[in-house]
Structure 1
Amino acid sequence: MRVLQLVYASRPFGFDAGALEDILAIARHRNAQDDITGALICRHDLFMQLLEGPRAKVTAAFGRILRDDRHVEVSLLWSGDAAARLFPDWTMRDDAVPSWMWSREALAAGAVAGATAEEARQVFVRLAREPHRQGYVFQATRH
């Protein structure tokens, strides 16, 4: 069964670790109900998320994200059908930003806007192969 995969990026607004834990708990509950899986990479200046599941459910979830004022500058980076899920066992995997992700300087210079759809998707293909590394970076990161 094919699923829709959708990757977006946004800039978090007004987040701290406690607020993020609440958001993840709600998202995981709703995603379990809607047969959505995926992963979230977050730090103080970037959210990048992959959602995957039934087309109507993923589209509805993205619509909620677009209306959520805790996300600023939401950009759809990739959307397409996939033969299999990258994160079949995760209603929402949450990871610290991998060291190979864009630096703060690269983000400021427009790395997300300049990324191709395939580059955005490949971030999650690579992440799916790595062990889970929980933890968030809400302070300035150095790369």
Structure 2
Amino acid sequence: MLNADDARAEGMAARTRARVLTYGLSPSADVRAIDVKLDAQGRLGFRLVARGAEARVRLRMHGEHQVGDVLASVAVGLGYPLDAVAQALSDAEALSRDACTDARRSRTRAASHPGLAVRRMFRPRGPG
């Protein structure tokens, strides 16, 4: 996965035989965000576009800086329906730093970061 907004990514893509998937704001990105806006509380919203599909995402977390992490997470989750991924991201809640530390210590699956909302989709359901 390469950030299509990074000018160096094209050179990296040319140096590998691996399948390359790109994400970013660039119109050439495989996974991209368009119509990126912050609401009055500074929460990020955008239209997510990937593989000819589009879904609306409205994060409960603050800051436009989240968009790159969210798009990278979506690129990992492309095997899932885009609507389901967008909903998981929109439902994810921010946790305090202390709650994140406690969750890591107890190995709890907490959505402290947008990417974790998508990663939870990959884990088998069941105990622990």
Asked which structure has the greater CA Rg, the reply is: 2
TM-score surpassing 0.5?
A: no
Higher relative contact order (CA 8 A, sep 6+): 1
TM-score after normalising by structure 1: 0.28
